[in-house]
Amino acid sequence: MAKVELKQPIVEEISGHLKDAQSVVLVDYRGLTVEQDTQLRKAMREAGVVYKVYKNTMMNFAFKGTDYEALAPYLEGPSAVAIAKDDATAPARILGKYAKDIEALEIKGGVVEGVAYDAKGISAIASIPGREELLSKLLGSLQSPITNLARVLNQVAEKGGAGEAAPVEEVKAEEAAAPAEAEAPAEETAEAAAPAETDAE
């Protein structure tokens, strides 16, 4: 009974990390140097990922009755678990990056957004860009048309603005109408001259 009581807080701690988690990845960390382990933990921490070493029996208890129960077959040998609540691809991405340079680091399997994957599946997920990178690309694509529009508006403003175009057209219209108005007095003069000829007769 005493052993169960000692285990309970650890199981509850793991369960607390699993609550609302987006992904969980298991790795075999045997063979990592202290420096490599420190760098890996730092990268995980900066990405908001919980990375800890627990006994397999403790993780097995915590996984029961959850989507992570599918990871039970991978709980053999030393295991470290990486848990993410915000960026679902972060654990796979970081572990995949370090596994390329550190042969001793072996990805066992994981669960991402409720779907279980083996080591190959997690490695494939590792190639998916992170949340921040995806948002950056999305904002870049959205800002491109806005930037072009701003550039056009600036060019219009520098040339005087579209609002000044109307008065110019009005001036041209007035200039075109001016000769027609000038001809009217000439016609009136001709009509005035006609009675003078009649008087002469």
pLDDT at 161: 53
| Exposure string for 17-51, b = 16+ CB within 10 A, e = fewer | bbeebbbbbbbbbeebeeebbeebeebbeebebbb
The pTM for the full model equals: 0.63
Which candidate, 10, 100, 90, places its Cα nearest to that of 53? Answer: 10
pLDDT at 186: 47
Decide if 27 is inside a domain: yes
Q: Is 57 in the same domain as 107? A: yes
Q: Is 11 in the same domain as 65? A: yes
pLDDT at 153: 75
CA-derived radius of gyration, the chain: 40
Q: Over its length of 201 residues, how does the chain's per-residue pLDDT go in tens digits?
A: 456 666 889 999 999 999 999 999 999 999 999 999 999 999 999 999 999 999 999 999 999 999 999 999 999 999 999 999 999 999 999 999 999 989 899 999 999 999 999 999 999 998 876 555 555 656 665 666 666 666 777 777 777 654 444 444 454 455 555 554 444 444 444 444 444 444 444
pLDDT at 128: 78
**Domain span at residue 25?**
2-128
Amino acid at 15: S
Q: What is the CATH number of the domain that holds 70?
A: 3.30.70.1730
- Alpha-carbon span 101 to 87, nearest angstrom: 23
Q: Is 149 in the same domain as 91? A: no
Decide if 190 is inside a domain: no
Decide if 74 is inside a domain: yes
Total number of domains in the chain? 2
